Chains A and B, each alone.
Chain A
Amino acid sequence: SPVALPPFFMRGSIIQLADGELKRVEDLKTEDFIQSAEISSELKIDSSTVERIDSGQNPNAVVIQFSVGELKAQVCVEVLVEYPFFVFGQGWSSCCPDRTTQLFELSCAKLCVGDVCVSLTLRSLR
């Protein structure tokens, strides 16, 4: 079932980076994720490329197929259309940016096939 949108995507939410620095969610940059993952002993940043976007079972949901990491593992997630992903070099992006902005006041680009999103895996999995 689709994942409900958690509260930390609301504009103004305070996010703590791995080095302790605090930033607002709307001010996060690609480097913040990369540097935080470099500090982390457990988490690793992966590049996840959007391969397909299909409608979900719920009219407000979409099924996004990602190609994850160097191994290009195929992973599908079903999320609400307003769920934002962080695209490398671009920032927050969702399948329905108008709805994300309306609900969370978070400025978003349109998430498209070919976009490369920030995702996490466990270092121990490798």
Chain B
Amino acid sequence: VPVFPWHSLVPFLAPTQSD
């Protein structure tokens, strides 16, 4: 049975420097 790390479920929303 595959086991997935918790952080794979959470979107990585990194603010960009521009804007």
Contacts and interface: CB of A to CB of B under 8 A. Distances in A.
A103 interface: no
Chain A interface extent, by class: 35 or more
Interface residues of B, number: 17
Nearest to A42: B7
Q: Is the interface of A mostly helix, strand, loop or mixed?
A: strand
B6 A18 contact: yes
B9 A86 contact: yes
12 contacts: A14-B3, A15-B3, A16-B5, A18-B6, A36-B7, A68-B13, A74-B19, A77-B13, A119-B10, A120-B13, A121-B12, A121-B13
Interface of A: 6-9, 13-18, 22, 25, 28, 32-33, 36, 40, 43, 45-46, 48, 66, 68-69, 71, 73-75, 77, 85-86, 117-122, 125
Given A48-B11, A75-B14, A121-B14, 19 more contacts: A7-B2, A15-B4, A16-B3, A16-B4, A17-B6, A22-B3, A28-B6, A32-B6, A33-B10, A48-B13, A68-B13, A69-B15, A71-B15, A75-B16, A117-B11, A119-B12, A120-B10, A121-B12, A121-B15
